Amino acid sequence: MRAITKGLAIIISVTLPLLFVGPAMAGQAAGQKVEINPCAAKVINACAAKTINPCAAKTINPCAAKTLNACAAQTLNACAAKTLNACAAKTLNACAAKTLNACAAKVLNPCLAKTLTAEQAKTLTAEQAKQPSLK
């Protein structure tokens, strides 16, 4: 019985700290340490934490960090990361994430986020961003 209790104590003491520092140490597998906004580091999803680029990591807002997809995390620019809404973060494509402006990111429709091109994202207005498509 003592051996089991001691074994469980060892397992818990090793794994418990990993629960708290795992997301905050994004990029460590690639040999680089990425500094994530402390507020967002607590809630960032594991997939995005592994792929997020260092510039966006510093500025990403916690709401978007929860739902940001891994592909968009790689290319998301720092300005858009500050204001990106959580719904659009789920569907934002990597091409548009590079050039998306902060004003449009705030109100970006999730349907539009899927199909938006990099060129469209550069000039997207807040009014256009609210629409499900640019047609």
Question: Per-residue pLDDT tens for 72-96?
Answer: 999 999 999 999 999 999 999 999 9
> Between 19 and 11, where is the model more confident?
11
Secondary structure, 3-state, the chain: CHHHHHHHHHHHHHHHHHHHHCHHHCCHHHCCCCCCCHHHHCCCCHHHHHHCCHHHHHHCCHHHHHHCCHHHHHHCCHHHHHHCCHHHHHHCCHHHHHHCCHHHHHHCCHHHHHHCCHHHHHHCCHHHHCCCCCC
pLDDT at position 16: 45
The answer to whether 96 and 76 are in contact (CB under 8 A) is no
The CA distance from 73 to 77, in Å, is 9
The CA distance from 28 to 49, in Å, is 10
Question: Per-residue pLDDT tens for 27-57?
Answer: 444 556 788 999 999 999 999 999 999 999 9
Q: Quick one: how far is CA 120 from the chain centroid?
A: 21
Structure pTM?
0.72
pLDDT at position 21: 46
